[in-house]
Amino acid sequence: MKAAHYLVILIAGALFGFGLSYSTMVRPEVVLGFLKFQDWGLMLVMGGAVAVTVLAYQFAPRLLRAPLLGGRFDTKAIPWNRDTAVGAALFGVGWGIAGVCPGPAIAGLGTGNWDLLWALGGTALGALVQGWRAKA
Amino acid sequence: MDITSLFPFGWSHYLVGGLVIGLGVSLLFVFTGLVGGMSSVYSSTWSYLVKRPFFQQARFTQSRGWRLVYAAGLIVGALVWWLVFSDGTAQHTSVPAWQLGLGGFIAGYGARLGNGCTSGHGICGLSSLSLPSLGAVLTFMATAFLTANLFAWVQA
């Protein structure tokens, strides 16, 4: 990867982090409020993000021969199997307890919210234990 | 039913934030072809430290660099929001530390076992029109609703 790649990746991440903060998704209280049916905002966040991304994912590979900086378009094919089902179910349980998912656990630090280090540490530990138990 | 009762804190910041997130994920894809879910960075970063074969898979060692830059971008973007759009006081959460740590642990384990989180399955998977991702989203939404309400009920 060239410097231009990393610059684009940094800007893309920054847009993501700004959006998470602007939409208050970096605040566990807001996410838990959604999960307790007090506020439906998270549907708008998810819906807005998908509305834009679906255009890029569906049209870019059809209109462009390759990504603008070269290489090829990744196709992420995840199978539906036991791991996906159990993993998703567990992810929801953890998300429902903390009100924090992997993105906001990182982005929230940029808003000076050091409490979220607990969530970041927990998530990192969870990923470590998962990989430790898994077969390569 | 009054639509504003669904959004007691207003709705436009949710929609605008979501559109900006989509813009970031789209920019990443159009320029580099990369699919920008967030949970993978937790496994790929461990590959720097843990030599076990699972973490030394090419999908982690070959993506760990850009995923860390992407994660750094998250913090930069949030910092811009904090400095420009908020009142500049450090954010805090009233959710207790044990709840953040425990929930984070289970969510981290689950997201990596299931190969995705709210961004990987939610934003990227749904935008790829992937049925397994739709299944994952419906599954984690269901268990998250159940868990959050159960917790609130127990604590009340």
User: What CA–CA distances, in Å, run from B44 to A67, B120, B126?
Assistant: 23, 15, 23
pLDDT at residue A108, rounded to an integer: 94
Count of pairs with CB atoms under 8 A, one residue in A, one in B:
530
Residues 6+ apart with CB under 8 A from B73: A9, A10, A11, A12, A13, A14, A15, A16, A17
Three-state DSSP at B75 gives helix
Q: Render pLDDT for B1-55 as a digit per residue (tens, 0 to 9).
A: 567 788 988 999 999 999 999 999 999 999 999 999 999 999 999 999 999 999 9
pLDDT at residue B1, rounded to an integer: 58
ipTM of model over 0.95 = yes
Distance from CA of A72 to the nearest CA of B (A): 6
Residues of B in contact with A51 (CB under 8 A): 18-19, 22
Residue A1 pLDDT exceeds 70: yes
Burial (0-12, 13-18, 19+ Cβ within 10 Å), B108: buried
Of B13, B123, B131, the CB nearest to A23: B13
Q: Which residue has the tokens 């604590």?
A: B155
Residues 6+ apart with CB under 8 A from A35: A95, A96, A99, B144, B145, B147, B148, B149
pLDDT at residue B97, rounded to an integer: 97
Residue B119 pLDDT exceeds 70: yes
Residues of B in contact with A41 (CB under 8 A): 7, 9, 11, 13-14
CB pair distance less than 8 Å for A28 and B95: yes
pTM of the model: 0.96
Q: Does A93 touch chain B (CB under 8 A)?
A: yes
Dihedrals φ, ψ of A123, to 5°? Answer: -65, -45
